[in-house]
Structure 1
Amino acid sequence: MTTTTHRPAGPTTGRGPAAPTTSAIAALRPLPPGAASIDGGLWGHRLRANREASVPSGLERLHEAGNLRNLEIAAGQAEGEAEGPVFADSDVHKWLEAAAWEYGREPDERLLEDVLRVTRAVAAAQAPDGYLDSVPQLRGVERYTDLPWSHELYCAGHLFQAAVAQSRATGRRELLDVAVRLADHLVATFGDGDGKLREVDGHPVVEMGLVELYRETGTAAYLELARWFVEARGTGIIAGHGKAPTYFSDRVRVREATTVEGHAVRAVYLGAGATDVAVETGDTELLAALERQYAAMVDAKQYITGGLGSRWEGEAFGDPYELPADRAYAETCAAIGGVQWAWRLLLATGDARYADQIERMLLNGFLAGLSLAGTEYFYVNPLQVRADAHADEERTPASGRLPWFGCACCPPNVMRTLSSLEGYLATTTGDAVQLHQYAPGTLAVALDGGTLRLRVETRYPHAGRVVVHVEEAPAGARLALRVPAWAHGATLDGASVAPGAYATVDRALAAGDAVVLELPVAPRLTAADPRVDAVRGCVAIERGPLVYALEQGDQEPGAVLDDVRLDPAAPLGEEERPDLLGGVVVVTARGTVAERPAVPAGAGQYRPAGAAPAASRPVTLRAIPYHLWANRGPQAMRVWVPVA
């Protein structure tokens, strides 16, 4: 095992959701809130909807669902019984985090009043010894006796993240004081010492929360407890409760695991938290193990959309290459956790593949979970919905996006991700800035020699031209731009650049300069590894970073999606549609649709092998970005299309 003694925390160099200390293993440093801003384009629209619709409606839903009332009852300010799932507090904490980052983006006193009112409710519910989780408190559950399912530490982790966000974005300490009391209680309760509990939570996230609280406060005991939780997994604790450990990512020790398994959200939250521990403790062995696990996930257990989790049973990863399109679970929260893990690995290593992952997950697996209006959500994100799909329960995509869920983990998770999105755009290293994600907006980055001010002009991802205008540049400032792995033929200032890496501007930067990155976003066909049985013989359409989907309403009359085939030899076309779904590029393809033969009743669904194929006719297929499907009502959809 390669570790170093815990070093005292240095000040954080970026103060977004993940801010490694100056002593951490980190190739790149995040920017502080406000250093980057998005003011237009695809993400600009989504950020406005989040601020104006998602965050306000989220607070209303938390009132209606009883989450906030639970806290009031626990505080003795109201009467009644606990409502909702045992982890109901976590949705309040995620909303608080979202609202804090949103306030940091643009201060608003009415929003701050809401934040402080909810914060007071949380603080009032806290027990004198620091314990805080309203539902177990109200239901008389003995503390920490059923951690595989009670989510007590999961709720604590989300509280820690919300408290750090509130401290960094608003300068207020009210929630941070609550978090410190709870964290001190956990430090006194868990570990290997005399009288301490040797237990882990069934749902990781406390690890991320504890590390970030350490980064904010400098209290080394929080980092040590996070390290202990990571090392304790895979040592038989969950199995000791009579539970199957695979679901809980507790079958194998983290540093010995070679892939991800079990409940997808649990697995990626654990990976993200363990990465935080590795970089802050100097544990290069653990960091290398986590890189291998992430690579194994990408290579064999991830959907083309970046979606994670192929089994409805257990909301779980399947076996390698087990990726059914129509039964994909691909929970919105799993994509968010995948982004959080990739971001931490990007900061640690500087490897462009993690920025590619963030882009794929954000623009496809994550964004599909939210309506254009910002008030309806998908919990589950399959890659195919059949024409006669039955809308039988709230998580079934055939039901369409819904305004809330009984298990409402996804909506406030979406909110906090969008509120902190600008922090994923760029990083810094001394005298250099690295651009990872492209959106119109501005950056003002403090470098060793002064401030580098940039304005980004682009229609990306719909168009591939990215122009970076230099408004102010200190001597020696350097700039690097990510070239996505798919971008073969990309150029920087007219010179060819390699895909899958960062292209560095090779001249001195000065005010008035314009750096031009051209990314070829022409549509292309993609095939899956042949071991993915579910989509063998199929292709998907991609254009730039966007995965596309066929939606039934865009097809010719009679071209039922279950019966269409795509001609891979025919060229793909493009059509700008500013009037459609907020403005998109529609991709067209040539194909055929088979005529369904008349079959006598009772003849069954099977035919002799080698029977003559059904007659077919040519059709033009039309595809839209996958993340936009179901914004015109739920309907048949597919990403993978059989070839003609």
Structure 2
Amino acid sequence: MSRTRRIPVPRGPVRPGAEARSALSPAVGAAITGGFWHARRTVNATVSIPQGPGLLESAGNLHDLRLVAGAAEGAFEGDYPFMDSDVYKWLEAAAWQLGQQSPAGAPGAGDSAALQKEVDRIVALVAAAQESDGYLNTWVQAGKGGARYADLRWGHELYCAGHLIQAAVAHHRSTGGTELLDVAVRFADQIDATFGPGKPLDGFDGHPEVETALVELYRETGERRYLDLAGWFVDRHGHGVLGGEAYCQDRVPLREQENVEGHAVRQLYLLAAAADLAAETGDAELRAACERLWSAMVATKTHITGGLGAHHHHEEFGDPYELPTERAYCETCAAVASVHYSWRMALLTGDARYGDLIERTLFNGFLAGVSLDGDRWLYVNPLQVRDGHTDTGGDQSARRTRWFRCACCPPNVMRLLAGLEHYIATGSATGLQLHQYATGRYTVDAAGTALSVSVNTAYPDHGTIAVTVEGIDGEGADGDAAAAARPWTLSLRIPQWCRDFSVTVAGQPPVHPAVEDGWLRVERAWAPGDEVVLDLRLDVRRTAADPRADAVRGCVAIERGPLVYCLEQADQDGGGLDDLVLDLSHPLTAAERPDLLGGVVTVRATGRRPAVRAATGSAWWPYREADNGAGAEAGEPVALTAVPYHAWANRRDGSMRVWIPTGQPAERPTG
């Protein structure tokens, strides 16, 4: 019997066009249904996202929209010109949540009816605030920012527009509604009439974001003008238009950059847009720049947690190998932006290494940004908090905060968690690829054949990942029969940290197949019910940094699987952490603790508190004569307990550290 079937298109945040030069395409269906990430997303759905409107109300964001819509009186509330962006990021998070494939009322789904009502209310408010020509920015409309686009370096009008567009695309893809998309299109048209060759203004926003959004709007609407404008904005950076500073990506054109620089989030958002443009246009020079800058960033400017940003000043990257601990900035938004950039590079190139960084960032630098209970946040994510730390609070606090004056991070976390299922699997002409491991069901388009697999795993606490072929559904006449007979490749990413693994295929004895470029590829004519079981060995390991990273020379970090661990004062007997030394002669052992921090695997170690000798007559002076390589005097052994870094700062305040001194001579720099 002849039939024609239409495979759905991807619904996630990144959807390369039909003519894109991407190696991989996002899944057309995805649902995380259990395990680690399901638990974290349940908290996001039932706690974090529902509290958003109340927090946006108390911070003044919604008042400002009512003010310019003529529905409220008073003055503009808030300290920043980008207050609108927090509303749009929350709307994007809510839209992805409404689009979840799990049925309403299922565990982790949240109250979809109540959420839909809030989304409808706020979308109507945004539409009411828009001016007749499409312009929308409450800071300017309320008289705080002067004329339109008068301050491109700091005004954030296009940055806010970008987040509005991304929210609108999410809303349209998840719900089918056009109310917010209509607002976004009108604003995009106003921007397109204002900026570009032969247009009234030559410039770009000091905070990239609109570029990525315009590419996605092109993908959603098919309007080529948006893609062209995004490309023009990207290429105007680096020509001194905004003063020539690296801070706002204006020192050197992106195509000529050799390493990431300036404000970390701004750099990463710009690179995400460049990767999108390379995919849609086939621009080889732009692609090469994206690959070059990603490699340099990972090799010289990325913390072990995946965190990015060395300086509190200007929230910026530092020099190569400048990776401080207690002064590490590692803004939560930079972790989100890193995932966005790496995912686009994974789609563009098909390389597994981008999934490696996404995994490291998600489990560590990103997830630390939200508390286990979902209602407290970290803006910055240091790798050490010293004994006796005095915290003055505010956005740069090392203590969790209910909300921030600059509240960019919380809704950013919400939107990434709400759409996380879209970052798991991809399809290509050859088959299906799993980039991350989360219990759920994933369907991809493999050259006209819908391939579906289910994944069952307790990762990252345990390393067994079971993948079962659920369906092979071809298009056209006798499509299913033809598709079932055709071999295809299931590709599993073997994490960069993994040194030993085994795999069984359809019940056959374990084998150790070759890994090529980070992918384990299994090709066969699959049948529904066929199962692949991948066992990743989760040994506890000590990790040392490149010796050029001076801040952590002579130290090690503890890792297990994708998780980075830290010591917290709450777990250590006998005082603080600053004087502890890790005893390398004792083994590290893992222990499951279902009673601790919602259930974690801890690592037990042995340390010492050295009896440091003060120089004679100078007890008031924190320096002494060097030991000439003899090392510090060892004190009594101390039992240590390390917990996953993502779970720190969920108990009482205290010190914390990721990098632990060993008391051994440090390796000397080479090269």
**TM beyond 0.5:** yes
What does residue 485 of structure 1 align with? 496
Separation in 1, partners of 2:24, 2:522: 18
1:625 maps onto 2:655 in alignment: no
Which ranges of structure 1 fall in alignment gaps of 5 or more residues?
1-10
> Once the two structures are superposed, what CA deviation does each residue of 1:257-294 show, in whole Å capped at 9, x if it has no partner?
11110111101011001111121111011111111001
Cα distance in 2 for residues equivalent to 1:172 and 1:490? 46
The corresponding residue for 1:402 is 401
- Within 5 A, what are the aligned runs for 1:412-423? 412-423=411-422
Displacement of 1:13 in angstroms is 4.2
Give 2:251's aligned residue: 251
After TM superposition, the structure 1 = structure 2 runs for residues 191-206 of structure 1, keeping only pairs within 5 Å, are: 191-193=196-198, 195-206=199-210
Conservation of the 8 A alpha-carbon contact between 1:492 and 1:503? no
Of 187, 194, 199, the residue aligned with 2:192 is 187
**CA RMSD, Structure 1 to Structure 2 (Å):** 1.8
Match of 2:127 among 116, 123, 128: 123
Q: Does the 8 A contact of 2:569 with 2:655 survive in 1? A: yes
Task: Tell me by how many angstroms 1:588 deviates.
Answer: 1.3
Q: For the Cα contact (< 8 Å) 1:397–1:634, is it kept in 2?
A: no
Aligned residues of 1:490 and 1:499 also touching (Cα < 8 A): no
TM-score normalised by length of structure 1? 0.94
Task: Determine which of 69, 84, 87 is the counterpart of 2:82.
Answer: 87
Post-superposition shift, 1:401?
1.0
Instruction: Label 1:643 to 1:602 Cα distance change in 2 as closer, same or farther (>3 A).
Output: closer
Which has the higher mean CA deviation after the structures are superposed, 246-255 or 605-614?
Answer: 605-614
Map of 1:559-570 to 2, 5 A cutoff?
560-570=576-586
The one-character-per-residue Cα deviations of 1:300-346 (angstroms, maximum 9, x if unpaired) are: 00100000000001111000011111100000000000000000000
Q: What are the residue-to-residue correspondences of 1:377-396 with 2, within 5 Å?
A: 377-396=377-396
The equivalent residue for 1:103 is 98
In structure 2, C-alpha distance between the alignment counterparts of 1:598 and 1:587, rounded to whole Å: 33
Give the match's secondary structure for 1:139.
Answer: coil
Secondary structure of 2:636's aligned partner: strand
**Mapping of residues 541-580 of structure 1, within 5 Å:** 541-558=558-575, 560-580=576-596
Paired position in structure 1 for 2:458: 459
Counterpart amino acid of residue 225 in structure 1: L
1:304 and 1:51 map into 2 onto residues whose CA distance is 29
**Deviation for aligned residue 1:602:** 6.6
Aligned to 1:96, the other structure's residue is in SS state helix
Q: CA deviation at 1:151?
A: 0.3
CA distance in structure 1 between the partners assigned to 2:320 and 2:450 by the alignment? 47
The 2-side partners of 1:180 and 1:507 are apart by 46
Aligned to 2:3: none
Matches within 5 A, 1:116-265: 116-140=120-144, 141-193=146-198, 195-239=199-243, 245-265=245-265
Q: Quick one: structure 1 residues 288 and 446, their matched pair in 2 at CA, closer, same or farther if it must change by over 3 Å?
A: closer
Answer whether contact 2:22 2:348 (CA < 8 A) is retained. yes
Partner of 1:319: 319
SS for the counterpart of 1:82 is: coil
Tell me by how many angstroms 1:528 deviates.
0.4
Q: Does 1:18 align with 2:14?
A: yes
The offset of 1:557, in angstroms, is 2.4
Corresponding residue number in structure 2 for 1:508: 525
CA distance in structure 2 between the aligned counterparts of 1:360 and 1:275, rounded to whole angstroms: 21
12 and 348 in structure 1: CA distance in 2 versus 1, 3 angstrom threshold: farther
Q: Within the alignment, does 1:60 sit opposite 2:54 as a pair?
A: yes
Identity among equivalent positions (%) equals 53
Name the SS for the 1:56 alignment partner: helix
How far residue 581 of structure 1 moved from its aligned partner, in angstroms, is 1.1
Choose 55-64 or 104-113, whichever is displaced more.
Answer: 104-113
2:627 matched to which residue of 1? 610
Supply the AA of the counterpart residue of 2:119: V
Q: Aligned in 2, Cα 1:445/1:498: closer, same or farther, shift over 3 Å? A: closer
Q: What's the CA shift string for 1:205-257, capped at 9, x where partnerless?
A: 00000000000000100001000000100111011xxxx51111110101111
**Measured at CA, do residues 229 and 624 of structure 1 come closer, stay the same or move farther in structure 2, by a change above 3 Å?**
same
Contact 1:445 1:452 in 2 (8 A): yes
Shift of 1:498: 2.7
Which AA in structure 2 matches 1:562?
D
After superposition, the Cα gap between the structure-2 partners of 1:230 and 1:449, relative to the gap in structure 1 and judged at 3 Å, is closer
Superposition deviation, residue 14 in structure 1: 2.0
Aligned to 1:428: 427
Q: Distance in 2 between matches of 1:304 and 1:610?
A: 30
**CA contact 1:484–1:500 (8 Å) conserved in 2:** no
C-alpha distance in 1 between matches for 2:159 and 2:138: 13
Which residue number corresponds to residue 605 of structure 2?
A: 589
Equivalent pair of 2:425/2:444 in contact (CA under 8 Å): no
Separation in 1, partners of 2:462, 2:440: 16
Q: Name 1:354's counterpart in structure 2.
A: 354
Structure 2 equivalent of residue 6 of structure 1: none
Shift of 1:569: 3.8
* Aligned partners of 2:614 and 2:624 also within 8 Å: no
- 1:41 lines up with 2:35 in the alignment: yes
Consecutive unaligned residues of structure 2, counting only runs of 5 or more, are 1-6, 105-111, 473-482, 505-509, 664-671
1:27 to 23, 35, 46: 23
* Matched residue, 1:4: none
TM superposition shift of 1:452: 2.7
Post-superposition offset of 1:520: 1.2
Equivalent AA in structure 2 for residue 181 of structure 1: R
Query: Does structure 2 retain, via aligned residues, the 8 Å contact 1:485–1:500?
Result: no
Note the 1:245-394 alignment, pairs <5 A.
245-394=245-394
Select which of 65, 87, 101 maps to 1:71: 65
| Contact 1:482–1:500 (Cα < 8 Å) also in 2 | no
Structure 2 counterpart of 1:561, one-letter code:
L
Count of residues in Structure 1 that have an aligned counterpart in Structure 2: 625
| Whole-angstrom CA distance in 2 between matches of 1:429 and 1:389 | 51
What is the rounded CA distance, in whole Å, between the counterparts of 1:436 and 1:447 in structure 2? 16
Contact 1:488 1:498 in 2 (8 A): no
Alpha-carbon separation, structure 2, partners of 1:461 and 1:618: 30
Compute the displacement of 1:12 (Å). 9.6
Shift of 1:71: 0.5
**Deviation string, structure 1 residues 598-617 (Cα, Å, up to 9, x no partner):** 89787211112338844511
